[in-house]
Amino acid sequence: MALGTVSKVMNGIPVGEDYRRRVRQAAEKLGYQVNNYARGLKTNRTCTAALIVPSLSHPFFAALAHEVCQALTARGYRMIPFVTSFDPEAEQACIRMIRQNKVDGAIVLTYNPNLEVDPELPFVTIDRYFSATVPCVSSDNFGGGQLAAERLIERGCRRLAFLRTGSRVPGEADKRGDGFEGYCRSRGIPVESLRLNDGDGPELFAPFLRERMEGGKLALDGIFCSTDRLAYDICGMLAGMGVRVPEDVQIIGFDGMRKFGDADLYCSTIVQPVRKLAETGVDLLLAEDRSQLPAMVCLPVSYLPGGTTREPPEAGKELGRGQ
């Protein structure tokens, strides 16, 4: 049995049927497995992709990592996660480590606006558009904002507000507010906005709300928050102010996060298709012909009631779990 022919068998390259069987048998008996490192050295393909995220424990990133891992596994790839803790310098350091680690590509979700990516290495970004050469996959944030406005207005809201926190660096998620405000304006519904940044702390929303209290009642009847997390915090503040949700004011968040990862929603929300996001990212990353990939893929979002909106009777309560 010659080495070269054994290699062919292990790689599924046609070889004499009898020979093939004997090799397989011997491999089985000896517990032989191809050494991925030797193979990688020779072929320059490692069947490994990197995932760069700020954290693995925050629910959205955890869900994303989970789905990316599954999608890669399904394609015979492994995932190496790198966590940046929202630190732009750490993000750049990850890019360097990735070069060292000889991965075949990377899916990145970063907040460093001037990240230097290796033009040789396939990259896909999530929620952040870099350039036409780096495909970006994101939820339809603009459409999600519109959808939130539509749902609130359908449910009787006439004085709306948009609240956001998030990174200072511009990203696709900023379009949530744009879609929301645009829809409100097109329907002639008054809308206000308060856009803060992460460092600001959620307590800065309290003055905004307090200013809009008139005679013990809130002068708003619908609020769209840029994330479920923010919606949760706002609900807490409102409870402290004696404002009832959803009776006095209805609230819609964004993300579709669930308690314990798979139990109830935290609030009525615009759900991001996390699995689809991951699968699309992996597909774009691993596409054979990377010369003409779309610069941007926008995935449809959906609305799910989660207790912070007044639902029409026939709609029932929250419908189904999981995606």
Report the distance separating Cα 297 and Cα 196, nearest Å.
27
Residue tagged 């905004």 (tokens): 208
What is d(CA 142, CA 106) in angstroms, rounded to the nearest whole number? 26
Measured distance between the N- and C-terminal CA atoms of the chain, rounded to whole angstroms: 51
Q: Which of residues 161-190 bind its own copies (CB under 8 A)?
A: none
Q: In this structure, what token pair is assigned to residue 163?
A: 């609240």
Q: Are 130 and 124 spatial neighbours (Cβ–Cβ below 8 Å)?
A: no
Residue 14 interacting partner from DNA, its own copies, none (CB closer than 5 to 8 Å by kind): DNA
Q: Quick one: which segment of 19-27, 29-37, 171-179, 218-226 binds its own copies (CB under 8 A)?
A: 29-37
Asked whether position 56 contacts its own copies by CB under 8 A, the answer is: yes
**Chain center to CA of 208:** 29
Residue 317 DSSP one-character state = S
Give whichever of 154 and 264 is closer to its own copies, judged by the CB atom: 264
Report the nearest approach of its own copies to the CB of residue 33 (Å). 5
Residue number with CB closer to its own copies (59 or 222): 59
Q: Which is nearer to DNA, 19 or 129 (CB)?
A: 19
Residues near DNA (CB under 7 A) are 1-8, 10-11, 14-16, 18-19, 32-35, 38-39, 41-43
How far is CA 68 from each of CA 39, 50, 184, 277, rounded to the nearest angstrom?
Answer: 24, 10, 35, 9
- 265 contact choice in DNA, its own copies, none (CB below 5 to 8 Å, kind-dependent): none
Give DSSP secondary structure letters for 2-33: -HHHHHHHHTT----HHHHHHHHHHHHHHT--
The tokens describing 94, both together, are 């990850």
Q: How far is the CB of 296 from DNA (least distance, A)?
A: 34
Please, which of residues 258-297 interact with its own copies by CB under 8 A? 259-263, 266
Q: Among 5, 7, 101, 193, which residue interacts with its own copies (rule: CB under 8 A)?
A: 101
Exactly one of 13, 41, 74, 132 binds its own copies (CB under 8 A); that residue is 41
3-state SS class at 182: helix
Residues that bind its own copies (CB under 8 A): 33-38, 40-41, 46, 48, 55-59, 62-63, 65-67, 69-70, 73, 78-83, 99-102, 228-229, 232-233, 257, 259-263, 266
